[in-house]
Structure 1
């Protein structure tokens, strides 16, 4: 029989410092993790994670479920350490979310690879994942097979809001003339839309990226979408833009200022439209209650005429949005 003293001497400090399990249940939890394929150091790290609702065995149960999915011990440990939301999920939720991903086309092998690449897939509610998949199928017009390819090679897509997915798709599809196949192979959803817009419009102003034709087809001389979205800054500058880093840095500042001014102009127009509608309501009220304000009918008619003339002039000067 092994005494308590030697066991304590050889037990990792991470396990000794674990405060959520009692001393009597600690050796049982460690042995269970060792039996699952973890070493002592990995077991200590798992048990040191803060448990859900103070339940010390919840983390162990989640770990078992990740291994049942087919993940290797090191991958399961990394997912648990990186995602607090994942540790909060119940075992039932993990099972439901896994089955949901399988129903979308992620078969064995691809499922494990996608989860290792994007652990957040198991942290998101089932409704969120389904909404993102629905957006890709219906609003972005990807086929079922193309959706499966996106899940395999860019699983991050399912973590975005549907509105963002649609905006990113429409930008590269209509503004850049990219095809569905180009979008899948480009890793579009691994790069922020802001960065894509910066690089694309930078190339446009350099004359290295031409707009698509009337049929929406991008000229063959344009860089491939993948060269705009996936390359590092150094490779993008050296092989695509062929300019110095200082020029791109300067353009980023210009672009940010233009975006800020456009946002302020949009807010100003929205506020002005709101004010105009309020003024119109006030004028209408005055027209119906002229006797109470002391305003004559001729004065009311004249003021309304002046207001409508100003409105017409303001509308003529307002810029037309594309």
Structure 2
């Protein structure tokens, strides 16, 4: 089961997420101060973004996104992503792909496992509830009979299943398992759950028409078994042909012997008749 928990982030003074405005109060720009004070994203400043490692262009874009989303915990979210090992460019791409991440209300424990690749590819996972994740994982384990390790790989590499309808997800598994004869390890290796059901059907039809794949029948016969069956049938037919030739040769030999015997009997009968006539 997945469990999200609050991750307290310890930040050193050298990497403070906020830019101190008390160093030179007499040089502070009053217009800028009022703008930061009244802005929706007042917990995030350009200076703090620069200290996190963002470039000026990236910092401006991140600051604009935070102001539009009115997120109150943006620094904590960014710090958690940095602790996860993501670089500023990857974090910016995540925010561009899923702006809802700005509005996360709590900082969740994202520093375990292989979530870095998962979040980089599918940042919407940060918005899902624990209940939803548990429902999907329970379906994959109980109804689809995946192991815990296989479920982890599916959720990491094919995170789209977390937002998919459970009935459609189960039907997709049944389609691949029963109609295509694909087993659980092969599904995980091929990342099958990244495809929609229509795309899966289209690929199957394409491979069948190319002759590269054959759907097994109800008896479970595969194309390989069919080729072996054809070879066995050819051998049996060849053996039957040889037996027929051998039996036909024997019949011809018997017919010749019968003809020779008939000729001898006729000659003997003729000789016997002539000998009697001569003696008379």
Asked if TM exceeds 0.5, the reply is: yes
Rounded to whole Å, the distance in 1 between the matches of 2:129 and 2:79 is: 20
Instruction: Tell me if the contact between 1:142 and 1:180 (Cα under 8 Å) persists in the aligned partners.
Output: yes
Report SS of the residue matched to 2:65: coil
For 2:106, the equivalent position in structure 1 comes to: 91
Instruction: Tell me if the contact between 1:132 and 1:161 (Cα under 8 Å) persists in the aligned partners.
Output: no
Report SS of the residue matched to 2:36: coil
Deviation for aligned residue 1:118: 1.4
Change (3 A) 1:28 1:196: closer
Rounded to whole Å, the distance in 2 between the matches of 1:27 and 1:147 is: 38
Selected match of 1:33 from 35, 49, 61: 49
For 2:187, the equivalent position in structure 1 comes to: 183
Deviation for aligned residue 1:174: 0.6
For 2:83, the equivalent position in structure 1 comes to: 68
Rounded to whole Å, the distance in 1 between the matches of 2:222 and 2:68 is: 52
Deviation for aligned residue 1:146: 1.3
Rounded to whole Å, the distance in 2 between the matches of 1:176 and 1:31 is: 56
Structure number with greater CO (CA < 8 Å, separation at least 6) is 2
Output aligned runs, 1:1-322, within 5 Å: 21-22=36-37, 29-51=45-67, 54-55=70-71, 57-92=72-107, 95=108, 98=110, 107=113, 110-204=114-208, 208-214=212-218, 216=220, 219-220=223-224
Deviation for aligned residue 1:78: 1.3
Deviation for aligned residue 1:173: 0.7
Q: Which structure 1 residue ranges, 4+ long, deviate > 6 Å from structure 2?
A: 1-5, 23-28
Deviation for aligned residue 1:137: 0.9
Rounded to whole Å, the distance in 2 between the matches of 1:221 and 1:75 is: 49
Report SS of the residue matched to 2:215: coil
Instruction: Tell me if the contact between 1:52 and 1:88 (Cα under 8 Å) persists in the aligned partners.
Output: no
Larger radius of gyration: 2
5+ unaligned residues in a row in structure 2: which ranges?
1-23, 227-280
Rounded to whole Å, the distance in 1 between the matches of 2:85 and 2:190 is: 28
Rounded to whole Å, the distance in 2 between the matches of 1:170 and 1:27 is: 49
Change (3 A) 1:21 1:204: same
Rounded to whole Å, the distance in 2 between the matches of 1:219 and 1:150 is: 29
5+ unaligned residues in a row in structure 1: which ranges?
9-15, 223-322
Aligned-pair Cα RMSD in Å: 3.5
Deviation for aligned residue 1:171: 0.6
For 1:265, the equivalent position in structure 2 comes to: none
Change (3 A) 1:206 1:42: closer
Rounded to whole Å, the distance in 2 between the matches of 1:192 and 1:27 is: 41
